[in-house]
Structure 1
Amino acid sequence: MQTIVCMKWGTRYPGDYVNRLWSMIQRHTNRPTRLVCLTDDFSGIDPGVATFPLPPITIPERVAWKPWRKISLWQAPLADLEGDVLFMDLDVVITGPLDDFFDYEPGKFCIAENWTQPGQGIGNTSVYRWRVGTNTHIYNEFIKDPEIPLKQYGISQRYVSGSVDNMTYWPADWCVSFKHTLLPKWPMNFFKIAPLPSETRVVAFTGKPDPDEAEIGAWPVNAWYKRLYKHVRPTPWITENWR
């Protein structure tokens, strides 16, 4: 049984995001696969998804509900998880087969190379595979004194990338960023729809827009001047795949 894990906290993403992820996983896996959701709110989640409470972590309140909370995944034991597990953020759109993610580079920690920092040894934790019970020092060192990694690394994925053993990247065309890889550069983003390459398997929606926003061509911004360059056209392939 292959296991994919997601986390849901707060109110930004409703249970429907978990359900869409589960539906996409089922369409894009041939082997028996389950989805485990670690969450503080079980409401609205499909009963076919295994749910567990968020794993405990000692963490400063100012970052308690930011990606730093994903450091809690590096503890053991962890829910009922064991072996190699694939983590996926809720704000991804799956567009291709997933089974290969469990076969690629056995024994290594596999992650997407961060799209905005190529060549700097930094992964993006939207999609990664790890073996539960390994690299527990990432969690243990963090809870000893969270302020040290917070000050040294600033961003949780920099901390993971700088602390994990045996890191390697997925093939670049497997995991792409909607905003940094696919979205046409300004000013063409006002005229062209973001393409979907045939080799792509997972599209990550880091920051804004979220999938439901990019789908309809909405990019919420606070400052008026950002509307001059933050723009996305309605994207039909999101509708076709994000369901």
Structure 2
Amino acid sequence: MSAATAAPVNVLCVKWGTKYGADYVNRLRSMVARHLNRPHRFVCLTDDAAGIDPAVEVFDLPRVGFADFDQRLPWTKGHGWLKVTSFAAPLYDLSGPTLFIDLDVVIVDDLGPFFDHPGEFLVIKEWDKRDDTGNTSVYRYTIGAHADLITHLAAHKDAVLREVRNEQEYVTQTLARQGRLGYWPDAWCRSFKRHCVRKGPLQWFLPPRIPAGARVIAFHGKPNPPDAIAGVSGKWYRRVLPTAWVAEHWR
């Protein structure tokens, strides 16, 4: 079966608050369309659909039966916590294999292998962690398969928040304990500031590069894609020269 005739899949993102505008959603949809050669739905869960391209399927951030999330209490809006709503069951009319992608990424190569790689829940291995923690900038799962992440958090919120700092620690450490966690090949998902920016003095003379084998470049923290295009690092100790390939792909 060719990619074009494969069973439909989902690509999902989440947007809340004002950190990222609708342009981030629209660019992500455009990048996915260029790099995923199989039938797919591109879906955004959001609290503000203004400015999002009509080609995007837009749904409200789902109500999940957890009062803190459903009322959008302040703590749920930080450290990625509202991404946990992606595990709702049911999640509107969605079903099947789903690739979640954060808004602050640049896609540089084919996404098809993310759906073909074996595993139940696949995620980036967090680059600066020695434990099981994954980076949830890019993860694949089956809609409805992990609703227990919501019910457990709702029942044990205080204990969970004492044990972990953020959503990705909670999600990936819980799934690791369940024996359901796997990781992408290291080369597929790279960090812009860790793997693209040149090391040491070279960053003053050479622009960031795309690492060999990379498919997705994650822009966690600073800089973000517009900064990289302009050559703004966001940190006094890091030099980032204007990076033309980010502008080429982030559109």
- How does the TM-score come out when normalised to structure 2? 0.89
Give the counterpart letter for 1:170 in structure 2. Answer: W
Q: Does 1:183 align with 2:164?
A: no
The one-character-per-residue Cα deviations of 1:83-111 (angstroms, maximum 9, x if unpaired) are 111000000000000111111114x1000
Residue 4 of structure 2 is matched in structure 1 by none
Residue 65 of structure 1 is matched in structure 2 by 77
Structure 1 unaligned runs (5+)? 221-225
Between the two proteins, what is the percent identity of the paired residues? 42
Q: Does 1:12 align with 2:24?
A: no
Following TM superposition, by how much is the alpha carbon of 1:149 offset from its aligned partner in structure 2, in angstroms? 1.0
Residue 3 of structure 2 is matched in structure 1 by none
Following TM superposition, by how much is the alpha carbon of 1:113 offset from its aligned partner in structure 2, in angstroms? 0.5
Residue 101 of structure 1 is matched in structure 2 by 114
SS of the counterpart of 2:239?
Answer: coil
- How does the TM-score come out when normalised to structure 1? 0.91
Cα separation, 2, equivalents of 1:155 and 1:10: 17
Aligned residue pair count: 235
- The partner residue of 1:86 within 99, 102, 118 is 99
Q: Does 1:50 align with 2:61?
A: no
Cα separation, 2, equivalents of 1:99 and 1:180: 25
Give the counterpart letter for 1:113 in structure 2. Answer: K
Residue 140 of structure 1 is matched in structure 2 by 151
Following TM superposition, by how much is the alpha carbon of 1:154 offset from its aligned partner in structure 2, in angstroms? 1.5
Deviates more, 1:156-165 or 1:93-102: 156-165
Cα separation, 1, equivalents of 2:173 and 2:57: 31
Give the counterpart letter for 2:122 in structure 1. Answer: C
Residue 223 of structure 1 is matched in structure 2 by none
Do 2:190 and 2:211's aligned partners in 1 also have CA atoms closer than 8 Å? no
Q: Does 1:39 align with 2:51?
A: no
- The partner residue of 1:113 within 111, 117, 125 is 125
Detail structure 1 runs of 4+ shifted over 4 Å in the superposition. none
Cα separation, 1, equivalents of 2:56 and 2:12: 10
Do 1:63 and 1:69's aligned partners in 2 also have CA atoms closer than 8 Å? no
Do 2:12 and 2:44's aligned partners in 1 also have CA atoms closer than 8 Å? yes
Give the counterpart letter for 2:126 in structure 1. Answer: N
Give the counterpart letter for 2:118 in structure 1. Answer: E
Cα separation, 1, equivalents of 2:76 and 2:250: 28
- The partner residue of 1:124 within 123, 127, 135 is 135
- The partner residue of 1:204 within 198, 206, 218 is 218
